[in-house]
Amino acid sequence: MELLHSKILGEGTPLLILHGFLGMSDNWKTLGSQYADNGFQVHLIDQRNHGKSFHSPDFDYELLASDVIAYMDHRQIESALILGHSMGGKTAMQIATSHPNRVTKLIVADIAPKFYPPHHQYIVDALAQLDFDKITSRKEADEVLSQHLKDFGIRQFLLKNLHWVEPKKMGFRFNFEVLKNRMEEIGDNIGATASYDGPALFIRGDRSEYILPNDYPEIKKHFPKAVIETVDNAGHWLHAENPKQFFEKTLHFMNS
Protein backbone atom coordinates (compact mmCIF):
# COMPACT_ATOMS: atom_id res chain seq x y z
CA MET A 1 0.00 0.00 0.00
CA GLU A 2 1.28 3.46 -0.88
CA LEU A 3 1.94 5.79 2.04
CA LEU A 4 0.69 9.33 2.42
CA HIS A 5 3.19 12.17 2.27
CA SER A 6 3.56 14.26 5.42
CA LYS A 7 5.59 16.96 7.11
CA ILE A 8 6.28 16.30 10.81
CA LEU A 9 6.82 19.15 13.27
CA GLY A 10 7.80 19.00 16.93
CA GLU A 11 7.80 16.31 19.60
CA GLY A 12 5.12 15.09 21.99
CA THR A 13 1.54 13.89 21.72
CA PRO A 14 0.75 12.92 18.10
CA LEU A 15 -1.63 15.30 16.31
CA LEU A 16 -2.67 14.47 12.74
CA ILE A 17 -4.03 17.32 10.60
CA LEU A 18 -6.09 16.61 7.46
CA HIS A 19 -6.69 19.40 4.91
CA GLY A 20 -9.83 20.04 2.88
CA PHE A 21 -10.80 19.51 -0.77
CA LEU A 22 -8.15 20.82 -3.20
CA GLY A 23 -5.96 21.75 -0.22
CA MET A 24 -2.70 20.30 1.03
CA SER A 25 -0.67 19.92 4.19
CA ASP A 26 1.17 23.18 3.48
CA ASN A 27 -2.04 25.14 4.20
CA TRP A 28 -1.60 24.20 7.88
CA LYS A 29 2.12 24.97 8.26
CA THR A 30 1.69 28.10 10.44
CA LEU A 31 -0.88 26.60 12.81
CA GLY A 32 1.03 23.30 12.80
CA SER A 33 4.14 25.10 14.05
CA GLN A 34 2.13 26.69 16.85
CA TYR A 35 0.75 23.32 17.98
CA ALA A 36 4.29 21.90 17.82
CA ASP A 37 5.49 24.74 20.08
CA ASN A 38 2.86 23.62 22.60
CA GLY A 39 3.99 20.03 23.07
CA PHE A 40 2.50 18.18 20.09
CA GLN A 41 4.16 16.11 17.38
CA VAL A 42 2.24 17.48 14.42
CA HIS A 43 1.76 15.40 11.28
CA LEU A 44 0.65 17.61 8.38
CA ILE A 45 -0.72 15.02 5.97
CA ASP A 46 -1.48 15.19 2.23
CA GLN A 47 -4.53 13.00 1.52
CA ARG A 48 -4.58 10.83 -1.62
CA ASN A 49 -4.91 12.78 -4.88
CA HIS A 50 -3.72 15.92 -3.07
CA GLY A 51 -0.38 17.63 -2.40
CA LYS A 52 2.60 15.30 -2.73
CA SER A 53 0.67 12.10 -1.92
CA PHE A 54 -0.03 9.39 -4.46
CA HIS A 55 -2.67 9.67 -7.18
CA SER A 56 -5.37 7.03 -7.49
CA PRO A 57 -8.60 6.62 -9.48
CA ASP A 58 -10.23 5.27 -6.29
CA PHE A 59 -11.57 7.90 -3.93
CA ASP A 60 -14.04 7.65 -1.03
CA TYR A 61 -13.97 8.28 2.72
CA GLU A 62 -13.41 4.65 3.70
CA LEU A 63 -10.27 4.64 1.54
CA LEU A 64 -9.14 8.04 2.86
CA ALA A 65 -9.57 6.75 6.43
CA SER A 66 -7.70 3.50 5.70
CA ASP A 67 -4.84 5.57 4.19
CA VAL A 68 -4.48 7.42 7.51
CA ILE A 69 -4.60 4.18 9.55
CA ALA A 70 -1.85 2.72 7.30
CA TYR A 71 0.17 5.90 7.87
CA MET A 72 -0.28 5.56 11.65
CA ASP A 73 0.77 1.90 11.51
CA HIS A 74 3.88 2.80 9.51
CA ARG A 75 4.79 5.57 11.95
CA GLN A 76 3.99 3.30 14.93
CA ILE A 77 1.36 5.73 16.23
CA GLU A 78 -1.03 3.73 18.40
CA SER A 79 -3.50 6.59 18.84
CA ALA A 80 -3.58 10.31 18.09
CA LEU A 81 -5.58 13.50 18.19
CA ILE A 82 -7.06 14.00 14.74
CA LEU A 83 -8.04 17.40 13.33
CA GLY A 84 -9.72 17.62 9.95
CA HIS A 85 -11.12 20.56 7.99
CA SER A 86 -14.02 20.19 5.54
CA MET A 87 -13.24 17.07 3.44
CA GLY A 88 -10.52 16.28 5.99
CA GLY A 89 -13.17 16.58 8.70
CA LYS A 90 -15.23 13.92 6.94
CA THR A 91 -12.12 11.69 6.79
CA ALA A 92 -11.52 12.35 10.51
CA MET A 93 -15.13 11.39 11.35
CA GLN A 94 -14.75 8.20 9.31
CA ILE A 95 -11.54 7.28 11.17
CA ALA A 96 -13.11 7.98 14.59
CA THR A 97 -16.25 5.95 13.92
CA SER A 98 -14.44 3.06 12.17
CA HIS A 99 -11.32 2.92 14.38
CA PRO A 100 -12.29 4.60 17.68
CA ASN A 101 -9.36 3.08 19.58
CA ARG A 102 -6.93 4.98 17.30
CA VAL A 103 -8.41 8.41 18.11
CA THR A 104 -7.83 10.03 21.52
CA LYS A 105 -9.68 13.24 20.61
CA LEU A 106 -11.45 14.38 17.46
CA ILE A 107 -11.58 17.94 16.09
CA VAL A 108 -13.82 18.61 13.09
CA ALA A 109 -13.54 22.04 11.47
CA ASP A 110 -16.63 23.40 9.72
CA ILE A 111 -18.30 20.25 8.42
CA ALA A 112 -21.22 18.22 9.77
CA PRO A 113 -22.09 14.51 9.56
CA LYS A 114 -24.53 14.96 6.69
CA PHE A 115 -24.60 14.73 2.89
CA TYR A 116 -23.60 17.91 1.06
CA PRO A 117 -24.77 18.23 -2.56
CA PRO A 118 -21.94 19.03 -5.01
CA HIS A 119 -21.23 22.75 -4.67
CA HIS A 120 -17.66 23.22 -5.89
CA GLN A 121 -18.56 23.02 -9.57
CA TYR A 122 -17.81 26.70 -10.21
CA ILE A 123 -14.24 26.15 -8.91
CA VAL A 124 -13.78 23.02 -11.01
CA ASP A 125 -15.10 24.87 -14.08
CA ALA A 126 -12.64 27.72 -13.46
CA LEU A 127 -9.68 25.34 -13.03
CA ALA A 128 -10.64 23.60 -16.28
CA GLN A 129 -9.92 26.89 -18.12
CA LEU A 130 -6.19 26.64 -17.29
CA ASP A 131 -4.32 25.45 -20.39
CA PHE A 132 -0.82 24.48 -19.27
CA ASP A 133 0.38 24.31 -22.86
CA LYS A 134 0.02 28.11 -22.86
CA ILE A 135 0.37 29.14 -19.20
CA THR A 136 3.96 29.55 -18.05
CA SER A 137 3.62 31.37 -14.70
CA ARG A 138 1.40 31.72 -11.63
CA LYS A 139 0.65 35.29 -12.70
CA GLU A 140 -0.75 34.09 -16.03
CA ALA A 141 -2.77 31.37 -14.26
CA ASP A 142 -4.20 33.97 -11.88
CA GLU A 143 -5.19 36.21 -14.80
CA VAL A 144 -7.19 33.34 -16.33
CA LEU A 145 -8.75 32.31 -13.00
CA SER A 146 -9.71 35.91 -12.15
CA GLN A 147 -12.07 35.94 -15.13
CA HIS A 148 -14.09 33.16 -13.43
CA LEU A 149 -13.28 33.50 -9.70
CA LYS A 150 -13.50 37.01 -8.24
CA ASP A 151 -12.45 35.96 -4.71
CA PHE A 152 -8.71 36.69 -4.39
CA GLY A 153 -8.34 34.40 -1.34
CA ILE A 154 -9.83 31.38 -3.13
CA ARG A 155 -7.57 32.00 -6.15
CA GLN A 156 -4.46 32.17 -3.94
CA PHE A 157 -5.52 28.95 -2.18
CA LEU A 158 -5.88 27.17 -5.54
CA LEU A 159 -2.69 28.62 -7.05
CA LYS A 160 -0.64 27.11 -4.21
CA ASN A 161 -1.27 23.79 -5.98
CA LEU A 162 0.66 24.82 -9.10
CA HIS A 163 4.14 23.38 -9.54
CA TRP A 164 6.66 22.65 -12.28
CA VAL A 165 5.79 19.18 -13.58
CA GLU A 166 8.88 19.38 -15.78
CA PRO A 167 11.10 22.27 -16.94
CA LYS A 168 8.88 25.02 -18.43
CA LYS A 169 5.69 22.97 -17.90
CA MET A 170 3.30 23.78 -15.03
CA GLY A 171 0.55 21.57 -13.62
CA PHE A 172 -1.57 20.83 -10.56
CA ARG A 173 -0.31 18.91 -7.54
CA PHE A 174 -3.83 17.52 -6.99
CA ASN A 175 -5.28 14.87 -9.29
CA PHE A 176 -7.69 17.15 -11.14
CA GLU A 177 -8.95 14.48 -13.56
CA VAL A 178 -10.14 12.22 -10.73
CA LEU A 179 -11.35 14.90 -8.31
CA LYS A 180 -13.50 16.77 -10.83
CA ASN A 181 -15.46 13.56 -11.41
CA ARG A 182 -15.85 12.61 -7.75
CA MET A 183 -17.92 15.54 -6.46
CA GLU A 184 -20.66 13.22 -5.14
CA GLU A 185 -18.13 11.32 -3.02
CA ILE A 186 -16.76 14.58 -1.57
CA GLY A 187 -20.22 15.32 -0.15
CA ASP A 188 -20.81 11.81 1.21
CA ASN A 189 -21.93 11.25 4.79
CA ILE A 190 -20.66 8.74 7.35
CA GLY A 191 -22.83 5.66 7.96
CA ALA A 192 -26.28 6.16 9.49
CA THR A 193 -25.38 4.20 12.63
CA ALA A 194 -21.73 5.29 12.86
CA SER A 195 -20.74 6.75 16.22
CA TYR A 196 -17.71 7.76 18.27
CA ASP A 197 -17.99 8.00 22.05
CA GLY A 198 -14.72 9.84 22.68
CA PRO A 199 -14.13 13.58 23.19
CA ALA A 200 -15.03 15.60 20.09
CA LEU A 201 -14.94 19.28 19.18
CA PHE A 202 -16.93 20.59 16.24
CA ILE A 203 -15.79 24.10 15.43
CA ARG A 204 -17.62 26.31 12.94
CA GLY A 205 -17.23 29.76 11.39
CA ASP A 206 -19.96 32.22 12.39
CA ARG A 207 -20.39 33.27 8.73
CA SER A 208 -20.28 29.72 7.35
CA GLU A 209 -23.36 27.71 6.38
CA TYR A 210 -21.62 24.33 6.61
CA ILE A 211 -22.67 23.73 10.24
CA LEU A 212 -26.04 25.24 11.13
CA PRO A 213 -27.92 25.03 14.47
CA ASN A 214 -30.31 22.43 13.00
CA ASP A 215 -27.26 20.17 12.42
CA TYR A 216 -26.48 20.02 16.17
CA PRO A 217 -28.81 17.06 16.95
CA GLU A 218 -27.21 15.01 14.15
CA ILE A 219 -23.73 15.82 15.47
CA LYS A 220 -24.78 14.70 18.97
CA LYS A 221 -26.36 11.51 17.58
CA HIS A 222 -23.07 10.36 16.03
CA PHE A 223 -20.74 12.05 18.54
CA PRO A 224 -22.57 12.10 21.90
CA LYS A 225 -19.70 13.85 23.74
CA ALA A 226 -19.30 16.56 21.09
CA VAL A 227 -18.76 20.17 22.09
CA ILE A 228 -19.74 22.72 19.43
CA GLU A 229 -17.80 26.01 19.29
CA THR A 230 -18.00 29.02 16.97
CA VAL A 231 -15.11 31.12 15.64
CA ASP A 232 -16.01 34.80 15.18
CA ASN A 233 -15.62 36.72 11.94
CA ALA A 234 -14.94 33.59 9.92
CA GLY A 235 -16.46 31.65 7.06
CA HIS A 236 -15.63 28.12 5.90
CA TRP A 237 -11.84 28.73 5.96
CA LEU A 238 -12.08 29.60 9.66
CA HIS A 239 -8.52 28.52 10.48
CA ALA A 240 -7.18 31.00 7.89
CA GLU A 241 -9.72 33.78 8.51
CA ASN A 242 -9.38 33.90 12.31
CA PRO A 243 -6.32 31.74 13.10
CA LYS A 244 -5.81 33.23 16.58
CA GLN A 245 -9.25 32.27 17.88
CA PHE A 246 -9.20 28.94 16.05
CA PHE A 247 -5.86 28.10 17.67
CA GLU A 248 -6.98 29.16 21.16
CA LYS A 249 -10.22 27.14 21.05
CA THR A 250 -8.61 24.00 19.61
CA LEU A 251 -5.61 24.12 21.94
CA HIS A 252 -7.88 24.50 24.98
CA PHE A 253 -9.82 21.42 23.88
CA MET A 254 -6.63 19.42 23.22
CA ASN A 255 -5.26 20.24 26.66
CA SER A 256 -8.53 19.82 28.59
Both 23 and 70 in one domain: the answer is: yes
Judged by DSSP in three states, 151 sits in: coil
Both 160 and 52 in one domain: the answer is: no
Check residue 118 and give its pLDDT: 85
Phi (first) and psi of residue 100, to 5 degrees: -60, -30
Both 26 and 82 in one domain: the answer is: yes
Choose, from 78, 143, 177, 209, the residue flagged as catalytic: 177
Both 162 and 227 in one domain: the answer is: no
Check residue 23 and give its pLDDT: 96
Check residue 168 and give its pLDDT: 85
Check residue 153 and give its pLDDT: 86
Q: 141, 162, 179 — which closes off a domain?
A: 179
DSSP 24-65: -GGGGHHHHHHHHHTTEEEEEEPPTTSTTSPP-S---HHHHH
Q: Is 78 a catalytic residue?
A: no
Domain that holds residue 93: 6-116+188-255
Is 41:6 a contact under the CB 8 Å cutoff? no
Check residue 11 and give its pLDDT: 97
Check residue 192 and give its pLDDT: 87
Q: What is the mean pLDDT of each run of 10 residues along the chain (256 residues)?
A: 95 98 96 98 98 96 97 98 98 98 98 93 94 93 95 91 92 95 90 95 97 97 98 96 97 97
Both 150 and 226 in one domain: the answer is: no
Is 113:192 a contact under the CB 8 Å cutoff? no
Choose, from 86, 98, 208, 239, the residue flagged as catalytic: 86
Both 104 and 220 in one domain: the answer is: yes
Check residue 119 and give its pLDDT: 86
Q: Is 146 a catalytic residue?
A: no
- pTM attached to this predicted model: 0.96
Choose, from 5, 85, 236, 239, the residue flagged as catalytic: 236
- State the CB neighbour count (10 A cutoff) for residue 170: 18
Helices (H), the chain: 29-37, 61-74, 87-98, 121-127, 138-146, 152-159, 176-179, 183-186, 216-222, 238-241, 243-255
Is 1 part of a structural domain of the chain?
A: no
Both 99 and 158 in one domain: the answer is: no
Both 143 and 217 in one domain: the answer is: no
DSSP 208-226: -SSS-GGGHHHHHHH-TTE
Which amino acid does the sequence have at 52?
A: K
Check residue 1 and give its pLDDT: 75
Check residue 120 and give its pLDDT: 86
Is 188:61 a contact under the CB 8 Å cutoff? yes
- State the CB neighbour count (10 A cutoff) for residue 40: 23
Both 52 and 110 in one domain: the answer is: yes
Both 108 and 143 in one domain: the answer is: no
Q: Is 140 a catalytic residue?
A: no
The tally of CA atoms less than 13 A away on the side-chain side of residue 219 is 27
Domain count, the chain: 2
Check residue 32 and give its pLDDT: 98
Check residue 184 and give its pLDDT: 85
